[in-house]
Amino acid sequence: MKIHERVIEGNKEKGFEPEKMYADSGYISGAGIRDCRNEGQELMGYIRGENSPKPEDFKVEKFAIDMKKLEAICPAGQKGLSSAVRKSGDIKIYFSTKICKKCQYCESCVEPTNKTKRRTQRGTI
């Protein structure tokens, strides 16, 4: 059971049903926000930024992401090819292996351990 689920259950047991719950960034996630909304509550707080060693110009914040359309455009201007939503609510947006390999920014953008040499953006709805 996730922490926000335990908090929701604990609040119900005590007769608390707040409209909003505030938490620090360690407890905030897209899945947590979604789950709280499903319970009629708003989970409020800051979502942690990316902490990868990538240059600032290639961190997730620099991608133009449209969560409603499940589309993304990378800092080099390439549009993602496809997307997938998992049962958990996690989203993956896939970019072209062919284009990423040829891109002048590939080494800065794509994780060195990525064997396909394409960028995959992850998020949660």
Do 60 and 119 fall within a single domain? Answer: yes
- The domain in which residue 74 lies consists of 56-124
Residues 102, 34: Cα–Cα separation, whole Å: 37
Confidence (pLDDT) at 67: 81
Residues 84, 4: Cα–Cα separation, whole Å: 25
Please list the helix, strand and coil fractions of the chain in percent, rounded to the nearest 5, in that order.
30, 20, 45
Q: How many structural domains are present in the chain?
A: 2
Do 101 and 72 fall within a single domain? Answer: yes
Confidence (pLDDT) at 121: 63
Has residue 117 been placed in a domain?
yes
Do 36 and 63 fall within a single domain? Answer: no
Do 32 and 71 fall within a single domain? Answer: no
Do 107 and 60 fall within a single domain? Answer: yes
Has residue 51 been placed in a domain?
no
Q: In whole numbers, what is the pLDDT of the chain averaged over residues?
A: 82
Question: With helix as H, strand as E and coil as C, how does 29-76 read?
Answer: CHHHHHHHHHCCCEEECCCCCCCCCCCHHHCHHHCEEECCCCEEECCC
Do 64 and 38 fall within a single domain? Answer: no
Confidence (pLDDT) at 109: 86
Q: What pTM was estimated for this model as a whole?
A: 0.61
Has residue 120 been placed in a domain?
yes
Do 33 and 65 fall within a single domain? Answer: no
Has residue 30 been placed in a domain?
yes
Confidence (pLDDT) at 122: 62
Sequence-distant (6+) residues with CB within 8 A of 23 are 4, 43, 44, 45
pLDDT at 45 over 70: yes
Confidence (pLDDT) at 80: 92
Do 85 and 113 fall within a single domain? Answer: yes
Q: Single out the residue of 86, 82, 77 nearest to residue 109, CA to CA.
A: 77
Q: In what helix (H) or strand (E) does residue 99 lie, and over which residues does it extend? A: helix 97-102
Has residue 64 been placed in a domain?
yes
pLDDT in tens, 67-121: 888 899 999 999 999 988 877 677 888 888 889 889 999 888 887 777 666 666 6
pLDDT at 125 over 60: no
Has residue 50 been placed in a domain?
no
